[in-house]
Structure 1
Amino acid sequence: MNNHPALTRLEQGLNRIIVGQSTLIQQILIALLAGGHIILEGVPGTGKTLLVKVLAQLIQADFRRIQLTPDVLPSDITGTNIFDLNSRNFTLKKGPVFTEVLLADEINRTPPKTQAALLEAMEEMQVTLDGESLPLPELFWVIATQNPLEFEGTYPLPEAQLDRFLFKLVVDYPDQAAEKQMLLNRQAGFTARRLDIARLKSVATVGEILEARQAVKEVKVSEAIVDYLLALVKASRQHPDLALGASPRATGAWLQTSQAAAWLSGRDFVTPDDVKAVAAPLLRHRLILKPEAMLDNLHIDAAIASIINKVSVPR
């Protein structure tokens, strides 16, 4: 089974512009195919905003960006009804949430009430304004960024809201070879500021992405893989270093993203490697370390790796 050629072109197009982030790009595409929202965490200057803008342009999707700050109100995101003095009627001024790809920059800088308005839209795929429910586009996809270093004046997302995000992806520094290529590209005249994103040639359409999502649902999952996945979930709930294991929502998402990973690799069946490949991005924002594990400086990714190592792989 070959995945859609449009997805291959999309992956290649992103890798051409965003140098040295091939694993990150693959994980973003898995989330796109599974129809799940993403938290992108990384220090400034690692290309998070550029990556999302380029991706939206390459699939011809409507794109909006919100810079979230402490004074942003829920209505700044969802929109509001404005009274028109001439017509004596209220007219709806839609907010930036009415788009296909929404980049919510620095989500942890905005108060809980505004976060909740965005998360409601993510969960319900609709916005309620003055008692009227307005549907969002079928693709509606949120990528929220946060800076892992600055915590002063921030409002960390509570666990129940973090669980609404499919993946938490950590944007790391590129390796030395990739960074050298970036410098060579810069010398040759390429900079992110000069890149005319609007003139990038699209390589896929929103329709093709929605078509691919349907194909992902057809990927076969054997009973042995289901049992393996359930054993991993159980191990997360019984792990001695964890205060909170994977939720039932996480279990369903794990299966879905494993199917997407298999499909993206050109297979119509899920293997244990697909299940392992999505474990860290799927679980790192859902599991909670016990206080004593934090004092021992245990990293959440290390706890996830120990869960994977504990459970035997089906033959």
Structure 2
Amino acid sequence: MGPRFPPRALVAPGGEHLWLARGLNRNYRKDGETIWCEWYHSCLLDEQGRIVSILSFVQDVSSRIQAEERLQYLATRDALTGLPNRVLLQERLTQAIAQARRSHQRVGVLFIDLDRFKNVNDTLGHRIGDELLKRVTAALSNALRETDLLARLGGDEFMVIVEDFDDPEVLNRIAQKVQDAVSQPFEIEEHDIYVTSSTGISVYPDDGDAPEELLKHADVAMYRSKELGRNTYQFFDAGLAAHRLAQHTLERALRTAVKEEALTLHYQPVVRMTDKAIVGAEALLRWHDAEHGDVAPKVFIPLAEESGLIHALGDWVMRTAAAQCAAWHQAGLPLKVSVNL
């Protein structure tokens, strides 16, 4: 390694110019161990500007270099799995796109999300969940090519960058290998754990020419895999983007409706067959939105489950149905109310 900084002139006490230079070199001990040495050189000049002496000083800075390298590693690696993190992924994807642009090749981006991973953490604990993530990392690494980059975004989300291909069928094969690698049972502390994965795929330059765009589109395709029942993979297309935007808009409206208790319960009578008397009612949840109109339960119930709103929505339904049942009883109508949970 050459000097880190160019020489600079200082004035010595006697008026002479003192030139300084600093450099960092990697050397090796007799046993092969690497040692980093930082050198300081100074030149003392006479009145004519000639070098009359050189003073060199060297110190072992291996500990400092190792600490800097460790910090750099931690800044770009996932602490749990050791995989590249989002920062390094963005950097490598940018490089891959630049290389593909020059060579007229494609770059594939696979967004992998483990299905129902939260259930593992909730039932077996985060320690088992962390171990599962390590096992999944190993399984994915073994399934991918050496040239493919596997990264972890956080939680149960992984990303793969695939380079040096022109036929999209390559991505089909890799995505299927990913599915197979994750779907195998993982034995952890006498627990046989089964998980599946949903994968979304975007391709440069077909689906975008910027890293953020490709990541976003792979994410959209991944959510489409979830909607199709999980344990599958989907390629991005423009229709998916429009569908995802519509889903996001509807979810935002549903979140507002739940917060403002804008949904309603309709009560369907339960009739006793022997005498045709009304003995109860079934509570049916309905939603009418000013922008979207009447939204069917088969649409907004799965959306509530996916967005985490289902618990708040369920609590509101139970409270409202119980209050209505109590009101009927107070009015002299001993009706029962049933709620589908």
Q: TM-score, normalising length from structure 1?
A: 0.23
- Indicate the structure (1 or 2) with the bigger Cα radius of gyration: 2
Q: Which of the pair is proportionally richer in helix?
A: 1
Higher strand share: 2
What TM-score do you get using the length of structure 2 for normalisation? 0.22
The structure showing larger relative contact order (alpha-carbon pairs under 8 Å, at least 6 residues apart) is 1
